[in-house]
Homo-oligomer: A and B are copies of this chain.
Amino acid sequence: VPGSRGGDGGRGAGHVFLLTDYGYDDEFAGVLRTVLAREAPRADVVDISHGVPAFDVRAGALMLERTVPHLGPGVVVAVVDPGVGTARRAVAASVVREGGPRFLVGPDNGLLAPAIEVLGGATRAVALRREPNDDAGATFDGRDVFAPAAASLWCGESLDSLGEEIDPASLVRLEPPVLSTRPGEIEAEVLWIDRFGNVQLSASPSDLDTSGIGELLEVTAAGRRFPARASSSFSVRGSHSPEGAPIGLIVDSNGRLSLVCERRSAATVLGVSERDVVTLRALSGSR
CB neighbors of B among A224-241 (8 A): 232-235
A51, chain B: closest CB distance, angstroms: 3
B70 touches A250 (CB 8 A): no
A11, chain B: closest CB distance, angstroms: 5
- A130: interface (CB < 8 Å): no
> What is the predominant secondary structure among interface residues of chain A facing chain B?
loop
Closest residue of chain B to A99, judged by CB?
Answer: B38
Interface string of A34-59 (1 = CB under 8 A from B): 11011001101111111110110000
Instruction: Choose from B11, B12, B63, B253 the contact partner of A136 (Cβ within 8 Å).
Output: B253
Instruction: Choose from B33, B71, B143 the contact partner of A46 (Cβ within 8 Å).
Output: B33
- A19: interface (CB < 8 Å): yes
- CB neighbours of A262 from chain B (8 A): 82
Closest residue of chain B to A15, judged by CB?
Answer: B37
Interface string of A133-176 (1 = CB under 8 A from B): 00111111001100000000000000000000000000000000
- A252: interface (CB < 8 Å): yes
How many chain A residues touch B (Cβ–Cβ < 8 Å)? Answer: 69
A51 touches B24 (CB 8 A): yes
Q: Which 9 A-B pairs have the closest CB atoms?
A: A85-B233, A25-B51, A140-B253, A30-B48, A38-B72, A23-B195, A137-B251, A136-B255, A12-B41
Q: Interface residues, chain A, CB within 8 Å of chain B?
A: 10-12, 15, 17, 19, 22-31, 33-35, 37-38, 41-42, 44-52, 54-55, 63, 66-67, 70-72, 74, 82-86, 135-140, 143-144, 194-196, 232-235, 250-255, 262-263
- 6 intermolecular pairs with C-beta atoms under 8 Å apart: A25-B195, A26-B51, A31-B70, A85-B232, A85-B233, A144-B253
